[in-house]
Amino acid sequence: MNRVKQSVHNLLVFSSYWSFRAVQAVLAPLVQIRIDTVFAGRIGHMVSECEQVLIEPSDSRSSRRRIDFVVFPPGNTYLVEFYAARFRQRRRTVVVIPRDIRFSILAYVGAEVRRRYFAGTLSGRWYCGPLENGGQYHVRLMLPVAPVLSVSAAEITDALATLATTGLATERPVICLHLRDSAYLPEARHHDYRDPPLEHYATLVEHLINQGYSVVRTGSVANARIPITDPAFLDYPFCPVRSDKMDVMLYACCELAIAGSMSGLSALAIAMRKPLVICDLRPLFAPSYSPKVSRFIFSRMRWVDTGELLSLAEMLNFSTFESVGFEAAGVEFIPNSAEEIVTVTEELLDQLAQKQSKTVTSSVDSDAFWRVVQQAGKYHQDADIRPEFMPGLSNKFLQANAGSLGIQAQSEGGK
């Protein structure tokens, strides 16, 4: 049955693509038509794609009359309405928000059309979407530009008042913590290798509370609660005030965001230019763009049969984003320890207190790390990665792991 559904889906995608190309060819002498179906079902994709399209200075790319169709499948209702309003401000742009499930299915097919056929350099000629699937690579270059996603002071005040009704100590600075688990996409385990252990982050929550912060564990769904009962902690996925709007407002209210592995909600922090800590980054070969103030650490990998750690170059040599791919290769991820997570968070807090730039050191080890990333990466974008657009690697984490990562010799050679 699944094979039949997939065949029908592929047929719809194929026929939709060529039908659209036929319409383009007929109307080409009169008007340029571009189409983009925003991947709205996941916050991270929607935010990164919309932010890029709306800040990219490409509206005047062609003098020919042009019509852009932007289709939003069902997603976070607050964000869909927010970005749809911004798209409507552009000239000759038609925004479609399907309400009927039949049109929603067609919208998802349209999203697949865009991802399969309209990526890369073709986008400038044929549609109004990002230059890369997901849009993240090019957004890195645009971070100095003012963000599109902005929330009014009145909305933030209202959100804090709502949070106060839950008993959360909102007089303290708020920190958002997002941890993926199997409650998200329960039928698709292809990304479950990115789900970090909850207990390691419970230690972080307790540490931050002792430091005078309130912590909100974000996300729309979760399987297990963090076992902490304190007025300075809110396990938001289990909270009655959860809503699409509040999902966004939490990041507007916070002073710092923390993610256990890269997740879609991190895109909210990045879009709002919030300081960001990423722990348990998996896989390492997909580092993300980041706000100006950020820190990250990653999960080391080891061979299952021998327990031997992989070097940095070996970790970068994988080309899979699937759990089964890592399993087939015979490797597994080693979660960051509670101590490592607390340490990298403290590094960023210290950086904020000192009002330093993201690059607080020019250590040779850090240079060597990014040199290996550029040389050993499997993707063409890796060669163009500029560390100033990446999250800042934790200095203490790098020093503790430099030898086993295989970059110590390069550090000595650079001295």
63 & 19 share domain? yes
Asked if residue 386 belongs to a domain, the reply is no
249 & 164 share domain? yes
Asked if residue 104 belongs to a domain, the reply is yes
- Our count of domains for the chain comes to 2
Sheet with 214-218, edge to edge strand ranges = 233-235, 214-218, 174-179, 256-260, 276-281, 294-298, 392-393
Asked if residue 412 belongs to a domain, the reply is no
pLDDT band for position 104 (50/70/90)?
low
pLDDT at 413: 40
Final residue in a domain of this structure, among 314, 341, 357? 357
Asked if residue 400 belongs to a domain, the reply is no
* Rounded average pLDDT over 382-411: 73
180 & 298 share domain? yes
Host domain of residue 306: 153-357
* Rounded average pLDDT over 112-116: 58
Structure-token pair, residue 386: 């500029």
pLDDT tens digit string along 219-230? 988 888 999 999
Over the chain, what is the mean pLDDT? 78
Residues facing residue 96 across a β-bridge:
71
Sheet with 66-71, edge to edge strand ranges = 32-37, 66-71, 93-96
171 & 277 share domain? yes
31 & 66 share domain? yes
pLDDT band for position 78 (50/70/90)?
very high
Asked if residue 69 belongs to a domain, the reply is yes
pLDDT tens digit string along 141-158? 566 667 789 899 999 999
10 & 81 share domain? yes
Asked if residue 108 belongs to a domain, the reply is yes
pLDDT band for position 338 (50/70/90)?
very high
pLDDT of 1 strictly over 70: no
The more confident residue out of 412 and 57 is: 57
CATH number, position 214: 3.40.50.2000
